[in-house]
Structure 1
């Protein structure tokens, strides 16, 4: 099954991420996941017998939970997850890095000195 990523959030406190995905018949889900690849808006995601494939490459993505999409639930996540890249995806530096649990910033930001 193929899914299209519509929105994404990174949670620096937990080192996990959330993505709104849309599938067949406009079925929308919120995926809560952990992995070595951060899903961005516009990415494609497929489930295969070998695991999860993102943008035609096998990725180490572990789906923790899938929620039915609800605008109020997504708004709650958006309002309560504090990552500078969630609102400004082209950031260069990040003041949250000392407390961030991601090994590498999902948005490519470097720690501010």
Structure 2
């Protein structure tokens, strides 16, 4: 796992997700891009360099694999097990989340309650 700097919190979980993804974004078109040139999967690799869209280093994040779950509250996302997470580049994550919001797909969850 050389070259992969984990986040400050949840480093073990993040590293497990990145290892399962081989350090590459796991988007398969839910962002609206077909990723046709790379066999249907986003080609962005953690710590790689992106030449378009502002350039700079690619930083992958571990987020829900199910696009509808991207709309869950942060405390619910933090409680998801590794098998329900995927590696996302920022561009694919944000685009997928925006598409889900526009489709008004909200996961059927029970309301959070304190008591």
Q: TM-score range by the shorter chain?
A: under 0.3
Q: Which has the higher strand share?
A: 1
Rg larger in 1 or in 2?
Answer: 2
Q: Which has the higher helix share?
A: 2
